[in-house]
Amino acid sequence: MTLDATIAANLAAIRSRIADAARRAGRRPEDVRLVAVSKTFGPDHVRAAWAASQRDFGENKVQEALQKLEATADIEIRWHLIGHLQSNKARKAATAFAAIHSVDSMDLLRRIDEAAVEQQASPDVLIQVDLAGEETKHGVPEADVASIVQAALSCRAARLCGLMLLPPWFDDAEQARPYFARLRRLRDRLVADGVPAAHLADLSMGMSHDFEVAIQEGATLVRIGTAIFGKRTVRT
């Protein structure tokens, strides 16, 4: 099969699994958005997915993403930053990405918002939450989420739209379920405490091997790379 045909077939299979998982959970398939994670793959892969009607793409590194943005500037894409963002790249990220899933500090939030105001951008932002206390991972500890959410609500240009989670790796996706459920409950608690629900509507959680479980637990954004583009040969 050609690259285009392979990616189109993979996308069709994933879309149908997303729809099935949503229906099984009593949710509407259209309430789950697929972010195709194109990290390490080139513009040809992005174009192939685009040709199969994929419009949301995820990248985990700003520099790599900017090159791909430039190489695909002729097509309409919503780019999502899903990887750790260093403060000194906040300026660039604020205009390049429609959504930044990985906001994990007050300082970063402020820098994104300032850059967005200056450049008249209005990126969606999600707060990345660390529920496992893993030292190797980024994210705001659960106890600090409420205060960064409050800060995000008073941003002038960045628009808070939800929470993001990257749980510990388990071969068995069922083991990630308690983390997905905790993120949803955390969101529900924040809303019960007065955060406008529209600002926490999104839960970005679920990857190639566990997205169905994440959808059962309320994911609205699933970030899927391998199952669409194949195995990455470059470490990220």
- Identify residues 26-85 at the interface with ligand PLP (CB under 6 A): 37, 39, 60, 82-83
Contact region with ligand PLP (CB under 6 A), list: 72-80, 146-154, 172-180, 223-231: 223-231
- Identify residues 194-213 at the interface with ligand PLP (CB under 6 A): 207-208
Query: Under the phi-then-psi rule, with left for phi > 0, alpha for psi from -120 to 50, and beta for the rest, what region is 57?
Result: beta
DSSP class of residue 103?
Answer: E
223 sits near ligand PLP (criterion: CB under 6 A): yes
Amino acid identity at 120 = Q
Comparison of 47 and 101: residue with beta carbon closer to ligand PLP: 101
Comparison of 63 and 154: residue with beta carbon closer to ligand PLP: 63
167 sits near ligand PLP (criterion: CB under 6 A): no
Comparison of 32 and 195: residue with beta carbon closer to ligand PLP: 32
Residue with tokens 């999104």: 202
Amino acid identity at 14 = I
6 sits near ligand PLP (criterion: CB under 6 A): no
β-strand pairing of 221-224 with 33-37: parallel
What's the chain's Rg over C-alpha atoms?
A: 17
**Tokens representing 136?**
């190797």
- Shortest reach from residue 102's CB to ligand PLP, in Å: 7
> Going along the chain, which residue ranges are E strands?
33-37, 56-59, 78-81, 99-103, 124-130, 140-141, 159-165, 202-204, 221-224
- Shortest reach from residue 209's CB to ligand PLP, in Å: 6
Residues near ligand PLP, by CB under 6 A: 37, 39, 60, 82-83, 166, 207-208, 223-227
